[in-house]
Amino acid sequence: MVNPETQDTELHPLTNIDRVIHAPARLMMMTYLYVVESVDFIFLMRLTGLTWGNLSSHLSKLEEEEYVNIEKQFIQKKSHTMVSLTEKGRQAFREYKQLLLQVLTDLPE
Amino acid sequence: MSQLFTPKNAERKIFRLAIFQDGIWDMQIGGMIVLFSFYPVTRRLLGPGWNLVLIFGLLGFLLAIGAMLKRNVSNPRMGLVKYGKKQKSRLLTMRLIIFGIFLASSTLAIALILQVFRGPDWGAKTPEWLQMLDMDIVFGLFVVAIFSLVSVVFRMWRPFIYGLLLGGGLVASGALTVFGGPEFQYPFAIAGGIILAIGLGIFLHFVRTYQIPVEEA
């Protein structure tokens, strides 16, 4: 946490980081979702290596923030829970990337 | 060294899981090669017309079995992915490049048949084995090029090894046929059989490793 007496938002850009995305599991999920149109719940579970419960809880968090859209779809006569990034989620992910780049780009060796 | 977790590598992992993880691709490639290696034998037995019917019938059967396995065995275990525009265009580009390589090698093969590159002293200067095997070498290299491309794009060794097996099998089969060996293309069939067996092994491992997930309460 930043000391309120010395708080200066310009010099502490990381305080503005999106903590919903910043968690490693959710960052991984967002990265995978960013590069596809949509995946079903099982495929996302295989990709991330998370358990059903873990994935569900992280997805709920992302859904609360309206970063992902979760909907049941019938594909080849079978029901699939498809997950995709919303436009808000994409924008948040781009901003997150910009912020990290800004912090890390000029880091001395 | 482990791969960096970047969107590019994430995309590659998505392709690998969706296309290659279950071994169905390998089984189909291997099955097709085994099928085509029987071509000269069945052609002699059935004649050209019926042979085409048989080969295309079996090819259709092979593709249908692959689609059925994908739908009923692989998808419930691995799940589904809908590619974005960029992935679709990358896959399309790769298919176009493969088609381009195919077209280039076919053109080269036709040129060889028509003796375009053969000057008046071709026969005198070129070793006999090369004169007899030029077509097989062209197609062998074409196969190696295509599988190498797949290997590079998806960062996997498997397709490259398949390319070497098939390219080598093609040339060896050509050599056997040209120099009076058996009609059946043993090396090509063996290469296809190895790929089929690898695919089957991967598929069985896939079925054992990836159980159909049960929703937690």
Side chain identity at residue B123, one-letter code: G
DSSP-derived letter for residue B72 is: I
Alpha carbon distance, N-terminus to C-terminus of chain B: 38
Return the minimum-mean-pLDDT range out of A74-78, B17-21, B163-167, B180-184.
B180-184
Sheet harboring B81-83: ordered strands across?
A: A68-75, A78-85, A36-40, B81-83
pTM of the model: 0.80
Query: In this model, does residue B1 exceed pLDDT 50?
Result: no
pLDDT value at residue B94: 83
Percent of chain B predicted with pLDDT > 70: 88
Q: How many CB atoms lie within 10 A of CB B171?
A: 20
Distance CA B11, CA B8 (A): 5
Backbone angles phi, psi at A12, to 5 degrees: -125, 60
Strand B81-83 and strand A78-85: the pairing is: unpaired
Residue from the list A36, A45, A76 with its beta carbon closest to the beta carbon of B84: A36
List the Cα angle B33/B98/B6 in 5-degree steps.
110
pLDDT tens, A87-98?
999 999 999 988
pLDDT digits (tens, 9 = 90+) for B85-133: 888 888 888 888 888 887 887 787 777 767 666 666 766 667 777 777 7
Among B149-153, B193-197, B213-217, which is the least confidently predicted range?
A: B213-217
Cross-chain residue pair A31–B71, CB shorter than 8 Å: no
Mean pLDDT for the stretch of residues B44-60? 88
B20 pLDDT higher than 70: yes
Taking each helix axis from N to C end, the angle separating B48-69 and B24-37, rounded to the nearest 10 degrees, works out to 170
Count CA atoms within 13 Å of residue B111 on its CB side: 12
Query: Does ipTM top 0.85?
Result: no
What is the mean predicted confidence (pLDDT) over B156-166?
Answer: 92
Provide the residue type at B179 as one letter: F
Q: Do B79 and A46 touch (CB under 8 A)?
A: yes
Q: DSSP of B9-71, one letter per residue?
A: HHHHHHHIIIIITTSHHHHHHHHHHHHHHTHHHHHHHH-HHHHHHHHHHHHHHHHHHHHHHII
Maximum distance among all Cα pairs of chain A, rounded to whole angstroms = 60
Nearest to A84 by CA among A39, A49, A46: A39
Distance CA A27, CA B6 (A): 11
> For A99-109, what is each residue's pLDDT tens digit?
888 877 777 77
Alpha carbon separation from B115 to A4, B107, B136, B141, B174 (Å, rounded) = 84, 12, 15, 19, 19
Distance CA A81, CA B125 (A): 67
DSSP 8-state symbol, B84: -
Chain A within 8 Å of B12 (Cβ-Cβ)? no
Mutation to test the B interface, candidates A46, A48, A101, most B Cβ within 10 Å = A46
Hey, of A39, A74, A100, which one would you mutate to test binding to chain B, going by the most B CBs within 10 A of its CB?
Answer: A39
Helix (H, G, I), strand (E, B) or coil at B134: helix
CB–CB of A45 and B79 under 8 A? yes
Inform me whether the C-beta atom of residue A101 falls under 8 Å from chain B C-beta atoms: no
Question: CA B138, CA B171: separation in Å to the nearest integer?
Answer: 9
Token representation of residue B19? 């296309």
Nearest to A75 by CA among A43, A50, A48, A28: A43
**φ and ψ at residue B22, rounded to 5 degrees:** -90, -5
How many helices (H) and strands (E) are present in chain B, helices listed first? 10, 1
Chain B residue nearest residue A53, CA to CA = B216
Render pLDDT for B26-37 as a digit per residue (tens, 0 to 9): 999 999 989 888
